[in-house]
């Protein structure tokens, strides 16, 4: 039985496997542990991963990135509408009303579902794992953002089935990080003692997630989770892109945003510049040869000026941190440590904001890029009968409130759904999240305490 954990990221993917010596993050055919979440369609073949990433500029209309955002979302969803301006490829409305991806493949126009494109990526990751393990890979645990709704999670599950994988569990990314942190700790409090509260902060390419977890020996309980679904490294890149579009427009009389390839090249250079500024506070150059109309362009940027332009983004770092403390009824003094993961947490200003909020030094004991996939592999090992893993229980939370309504004029009824969550039932309550209506109806079991008819 295979024991594989897959971190299915917005920009990058990682695969970890469990072996006799422990958990190992494996490398792809390019000897790189990171596989770009990218699929490119050509006239004769299809490329996935690093090979597809190299065609982002040369085959922009048929190279698909960031498709993870469209899982389970209707084409009319405001979130999808907002994303259209950031795409070099076309998206379409499928007969089901969901979002599809339009490309030219084998010299024919084709519409693919998000699940199909994700399955292509998962198949590539599956091949990578099989080449290392030297045996078929079927069972796995796949990560999803903690803010994913039921429809989005079911969409990812469908993608795993198309790829020929048996997904034992979809695991919240912050919970996977918490598992990777806690399972090896030998100094955790005993079960009867006061738990150790640890905050996990994950700011990746496209989203920002935080959670606070209580640890005891052999036990992990997620107390609260919060998120900003659009705050990530990509937003900081966009600040630089917009700045240089304006600067080069005035300096060289270029309309950069009218040319997709030019905008993609500038985006790539701005991402590199952002990473350099994380390690260097002095003025740094940005130069691109033969950028547009055979014109070479150049500019400079420093960390101080960059941070001034990012004030509104940095102001969005604290609210989720404050939210998890409010939800968990904890004080800052109750927090034992703050662990940070995700590429965007390398930005000095982001780290400073988090550290200042909690009033303590941040902990970086986990691998910022690989913590999620290692946690998924550990969860797969726990579920697998082929591996013997120390007992470690995980209690997660549902991030969204669930409300029901019925046709009875009775007074409001409160039903306890968990030790930390109450379901408020009222004739005026809203049904499940309107903007993400699922095609599948969840099953809810209630203890009837009075005659009542519930409409779902």
Residue 339 bears catalytic tag? no
Token pair in block for residue 136? 């078929």
Which residue among 53, 68, 126, 274 is the active-site one? Answer: 68
Among 7, 152, 269, 370, the one annotated catalytic: 7
Q: Which residues contact 434 (CB under 8 A, 6 or more apart)?
A: none
C-alpha 277/C-alpha 264 separation (Å) is 20
Residue 181: phi and psi, rounded to 5, are: -75, -45
Which helix (DSSP H) or strand (DSSP E) does residue 201 occupy? Answer: strand 196-203
Q: Which string of DSSP letters, residue by residue, matches 336-358?
A: EEEEEESGGGGSHHHHHHHHHHH
77 classed as catalytic: no
| Cα dihedral 242→247→249→253 (10° resolution) | -170
275 catalytic? Reply is: no
Q: Which of 358, 334, 321 is nearest to 195 (CA)?
A: 334
Q: Are 312 and 295 in contact (CB under 8 A)?
A: no
- CB distance 300 to 291 below 8 Å: no
Within 8 A by CB and 6+ apart from 263, the residues are 88, 241, 245, 256, 257
In the block, tokens 């496209």 appear at 206
Which of 77, 115, 173, 269 is an active site residue? 173
From the candidates 152, 202, 228, 269, give the one annotated as an active-site residue: 202
Q: Which two tokens stand for residue 443?
A: 């099953």
Catalytic residue IDs? 7, 68, 173, 202
């Amino acid at each position: 039985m295979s024991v594989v954990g897959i971190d299915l990221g917005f920009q990058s993917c990682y695969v970890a496997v469990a072996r006799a010596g422990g958990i190992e993050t494996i490398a792809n055919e390019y000897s790189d542990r990171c596989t770009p979440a990218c699929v490119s369609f050509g006239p004769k073949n299809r490329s996935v991963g690093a090979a597809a990433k190299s065609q982002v500029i040369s085959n922009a209309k048929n190279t698909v990135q960031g498709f993870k955002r469209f899982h389970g979302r209707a084409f009319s969803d405001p979130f999808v509408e907002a994303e259209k301006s950031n795409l070099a490829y076309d998206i379409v409305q499928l007969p089901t009303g969901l979002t599809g991806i339009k490309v030219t493949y084998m010299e024919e126009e084709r519409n693919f579902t998000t699940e199909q494109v994700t399955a292509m990526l998962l198949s590539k990751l599956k091949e990578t794992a099989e080449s290392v393990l030297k045996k078929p890979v079927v069972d796995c645990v796949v990560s999803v953002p903690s803010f994913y709704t039921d429809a989005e999670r079911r969409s990812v599950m469908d993608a795993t089935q198309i790829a020929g994988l048996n997904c034992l569990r979809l695991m919240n990314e912050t919970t996977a990080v918490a598992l990777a942190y806690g399972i090896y700790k030998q100094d955790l409090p005993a079960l009867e003692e006061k738990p150790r509260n640890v905050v996990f902060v994950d700011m990746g390419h496209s989203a920002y997630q935080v959670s606070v977890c209580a640890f005891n020996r052999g036990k992990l309980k997620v107390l609260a989770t919060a998120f900003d679904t659009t705050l990530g490294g990509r937003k900081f890149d966009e600040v630089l892109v917009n700045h240089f579009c304006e600067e080069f427009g005035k300096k060289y009389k270029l309309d950069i945003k009218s040319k997709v390839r030019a905008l993609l090249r500038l985006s790539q250079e701005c991402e590199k510049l952002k990473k350099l500024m994380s390690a260097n506070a002095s003025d740094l150059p940005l130069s691109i040869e033969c950028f547009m109309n055979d014109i070479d362009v150049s500019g400079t940027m420093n960390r101080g000026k960059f941070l001034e332009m990012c004030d509104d983004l940095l102001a969005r770092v604290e609210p989720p941190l404050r939210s998890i403390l409010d939800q968990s009824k904890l004080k800052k003094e109750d927090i034992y440590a703050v662990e940070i993961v995700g590429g965007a947490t390398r930005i000095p200003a982001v780290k400073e904001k988090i550290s200042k909020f909690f009033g303590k030094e941040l902990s970086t004991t986990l691998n910022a890029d690989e913590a999620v996939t290692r946690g998924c592999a550990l969860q797969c090992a726990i579920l697998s009968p082929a591996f013997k893993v120390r007992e470690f229980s995980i209690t997660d939370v549902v991030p969204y409130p669930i409300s029901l309504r019925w046709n009875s004029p009775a007074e409001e009824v409160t039903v306890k759904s968990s030790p930390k969550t109450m379901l408020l039932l009222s004739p005026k309550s809203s049904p499940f999240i309107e903007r993400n209506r699922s095609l599948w109806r969840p099953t809810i079991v209630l203890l009837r305490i009075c005659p009542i008819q519930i409409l779902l």
